[in-house]
Structure 1
Amino acid sequence: MRFSLIRLAALLPLAACATPTSTSAPTVEPEAVLVEAQPVPLDPADPTREQVGALRWRGGLVLTSADKRFGGLSGMRWDAGRLVLVSDEGDAWSIQPREAHGRLIGVGDARVRRLNGADGRPLPRIKELSDAESIELVSDPACRGTCPATHAIVSLETDSSLWRYRMIGGLPGGIPEALTEGAAWRARQSRTNGGVEAHAAGPGFRLMVSEEMREADGGASALLVTEAGEQRLSLRLGGVFVPTDLVLLDASAHRFLLLQRNYAKGRGTWTRTARFALARGGDGHWSVGPVETLATSGPPFTSDNMEGLAIRREGRRTMLYMISDDNFSKTQRTLLMKWELVG
């Protein structure tokens, strides 16, 4: 079972939250783009080092392309042997990792398609109107997680939109449906650069996490949407790390993995991976269990602005992919990392 794919039945009770739109927008075929990869070690000073906390290194790459659209990669998911991503400037990408003996060694075919807005037109190339930050995938429940995704749910940070696209040719396409769930909570974050940064879903529930909005106790503001309604939650992360992506680790236990980032001048960019679970009380209200840090990594290890997280299974082993958002800056890199969750 691929835990990065949501069973479609899980979202049927939430379908009433979608604003119907036409789905007859012209379909533009994905465009092939040459992306090159240069291997990098976890620790440049000690290439034999392969573990940080509960994460074991399974390879890293610096990705580059002459195509100016490549970069700004944020949300990421695994689907049918490929990584599906969205960028800060409204493009959807699909990249095929190349691996040997379970290790990431390069990338193969890469494709791109411009996301459409609710009017069926390609999003304008203006960051404030096309800043896609997270993606979640939906699969046909009859496949039990063995088929490619049928839909993608994408959040746009600046106006806090939440759109559901059809997956066409392995990438989001067509005219999206505007999801209204959590609209009031999302509206509080609009016109900022700290809106819905991460979301993940499972059978009958969806969890969205804000990058900058905080609850009264100082925890990161999150919204849980279930068949019974909506409930705000607080993720007590501690320290100065902010959420950047979220994946479902175990649907039955409502257990998640959270990717976080911290940048400090003179200290560099640091990444923290944490695990937490949700629990439902007898009164029907949900609570957040302890947020457990699994790994923290930063300089002098290979690091950058890690904003995308995807999960896949290799037999009984759990693999994680992380990608960095280079902000289309010459001082940053697009890093793709593979880790194994151990311990």
Structure 2
Amino acid sequence: MPKRRRRALIAALSTCLAAVGAAAPAATLDYVGTYVWRGDEPSFGGFSGIEISADGRGFHVLSDRAWLYWGSIDRDEQGRLRGMNIAGRAHLKDSKGEPLKPGYLGDSEGLAIGADGRIWVSFEGLDRLASYDDPDAPARRQPRPPDLPGMRVNAGLEALAIRDDGSLIALPEKSGRESRPFPVLRFADETWRTMTHLRRDPRWLAVGADFGPDGYLYLLERDFHGLLGFSSRVRRMRLTEDGPRDEEILLETQPLQYDNLEGLSVWHDGQGIRLTLISDDNFLIVQRTELVEYRLRD
């Protein structure tokens, strides 16, 4: 079934349940597997964004040093990830066609790919949004996002997701203080606006987001525990102008259970909704690039 038709069917069923007053079923995540990905190129690592194709066998991943990798995925008969095959990589460019340097100008964090194939990337450092017609093309400049509380170097637009209508949703990594909700920015028709706000729980930072085939927004958050490493959690919700609805925490990991998970892609694997997460190894030998997958069970 085509992805858009599946989403429409799920939305229609949800509307019918709501109309008759049926309670929404509780959802849980079943662990599918973990794959440690290794590469020899100097640009390999630091992955903070990921997009999985609708059939689960293609990928794009974005590093925080302005490199984009893409290729195919090997899976076994149970659909578990068994290999990542790189078909190409590109050093993202600025609007003049010059390769972006790591740091202030090249700190690429969020990745979203539209139905038309356009690649959208959010940057922190110099907080901005850029689009690419293809990975080797110069960036297309977009209007700058508003300056929000908490947005500063290494704490800017971290999570990026695209809706079926082509509009983009972006969240900063931090909100200014732990008691302040995360602002949710919407970008459409070359205009930014604050759509709504999401509750922020102390210590948890927004690092990745994607819209699933069920229409929910899935938000990946991270907590850092020093020598005990990282913990992660995933929230999902229906995003409305009046705030989030039907919000629930699907996953909360223990420190050191996984590496520094920063990227999230949500897709349908034919049996259910699959979540694929990727870790940022910070280009450190003591960390690793890790892909972790879960399947949603309602």
**TM-score, normalised relative to structure 1:** 0.72
Instruction: Tell me the equivalent position of 2:15.
Output: none
Flag structure 1 segments of 5+ consecutive residues without an equivalent: 4-52, 141-149, 281-285
Q: Given the superposition, is the C-alpha separation of residues 279 and 183 from structure 1 closer, same or farther in structure 2, using an over 3 Å criterion?
A: closer
- CA-based RMSD of the aligned residues comes to 2.5
Q: Residues 2 and 298 (structure 1 numbering): CA distance in 2 closer, same or farther, change over 3 Å?
A: farther
> How many Å apart are 1:232 and its aligned residue?
4.7
Cα deviation, 1:237-271, whole Å, max 9, x if unaligned, reads 323111111001257x5x20001111112432101
- Does residue 185 (structure 1) correspond to residue 147 (structure 2)? The answer is yes
Alignment partner of 2:119 out of 144, 152, 170: 152
C-alpha distance in 1, partners of 2:74/2:166?
A: 34
Q: 1:163 maps to which residue?
A: 130
The residue aligned with 2:90 is 113
Q: Could you tell me whether the CA contact under 8 Å between 1:159 and 1:187 is conserved in 2?
A: no
Judge conservation of contact 2:114–2:166 (CA < 8 Å) in 1: no
**More deviation, 320-329/224-233:** 224-233
Counterpart residue number, 2:292: 337
1:218 aligns with 2:194: no
Residue 311 to residue 66, structure 1, CA distance change in 2 (3 Å): same
Residue 234 of structure 2: aligned partner: 273
Instruction: Provide the rounded CA distance (Å) in 2 between the counterparts of 1:94 and 1:219.
Output: 34
Task: Report which of the two has the higher share of strand.
Answer: 1
Look up the match of 1:130.
Answer: 106
Query: 1:326 is matched with which residue: 277, 281, 292?
Result: 281
1:194–1:211 CA contact under 8 A, matched in 2: yes
SS at match of 1:323: strand
For 2:230 and 2:52, the matched residues in 1 are separated by 25
Q: Determine the C-alpha separation between the residues in 2 that align with 1:164 and 1:241.
A: 28
- Report what 1:243 is aligned to: 206
Q: Which runs of 5+ in 2 are unaligned?
A: 5-26
C-alpha contact 2:179 2:202 (8 A) present in aligned 1: no
CA contact under 8 A between 1:215 and 1:234: conserved in structure 2?
no
Amino acid at match of 2:86: D
Return the offset for 1:161: 1.6
Which one of the candidate residues 21, 28, 37 is aligned to 1:54? 28
Residues 84 and 93 in structure 1, CA contact (< 8 A), matched pair in contact too:
yes
TM-superposed CA distance for 1:305, in Å, is 0.5
Q: Distance in 2 between matches of 1:291 and 1:298?
A: 21
Q: 1:289 to 1:237 in 2, by over 3 A?
A: farther
Query: What is the distance in 2 between the residues matched to 1:239 and 1:186?
Result: 19
Separation in 1, partners of 2:207, 2:108: 12
Which residue in the other structure is 2:193 paired with?
230
CA distance in 2, matches of 1:138, 1:232: 20
- Secondary structure of 1:139's counterpart equals coil
For the pair 1:310 / 2:271, whether they are aligned, the reply is no
Pick closer, same or farther for the CA change 1:213–1:179 going to 2, 3 Å.
same
Which position in structure 1 is the counterpart of 2:22?
Answer: none
Query: Aligned with 1:173: secondary structure?
Result: coil
**Structure 1 counterpart of 2:296, one-letter code:** L
Q: Distance in 2 between matches of 1:105 and 1:292?
A: 30
Deviation at 1:216, TM superposition (A): 9.5
Correspondence for 2:170: 208
Residues of 1 paired with 2:188 and 2:278: CA distance? 29
| 1:123-174 alpha-carbon deviations (Å, 9 max, x no partner) | 12x322211101110123xxxxxxxxx210001111012001013xxxx231
Q: 1:74 aligns with which of 31, 34, 48?
A: 48
